[in-house]
């Protein structure tokens, strides 16, 4: 299995990037993009967990 996303956290935002033949910003990831992310993890096959401040 390969990773499909890169999650980048900034002081006031979170950016989710899709990894494929190119790296592209994901706008419909379900992550809160207006807050920093402390941690994130995959839960099972179809769920992601984001821990925010």
The per-residue pLDDT for range 5-52, each reduced to its tens digit, is: 999 999 999 999 999 999 999 999 999 999 999 999 999 988 999 999
Single pTM value for the model:
0.84
Full domain range(s) for residue 34: 5-52
Q: How many domains does the chain have?
A: 1
pLDDT at position 2 over 80: no
Interacting residues of 39 by C-beta distance below 8 A, sequence separation 6+: 49, 50, 51
| Distances in whole angstroms, Cα of residue 8 to Cα of each of 5, 29 | 10, 13
The set of residues, in sequence order, having a beta carbon less than 8 Å from that of 36 and lying 6+ positions away, is: 9, 10, 11, 12, 13, 14, 52, 53
Residue 19 tokens read as 């990894």
């Amino acid at each position: 299995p390969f990773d499909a996303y890169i999650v980048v956290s900034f002081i006031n935002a979170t950016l989710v990037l899709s990894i494929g033949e190119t790296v592209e910003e994901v706008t419909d990831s379900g992550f809160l993009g207006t807050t920093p992310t402390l941690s994130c993890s995959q839960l099972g096959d179809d769920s992601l967990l984001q821990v925010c401040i």
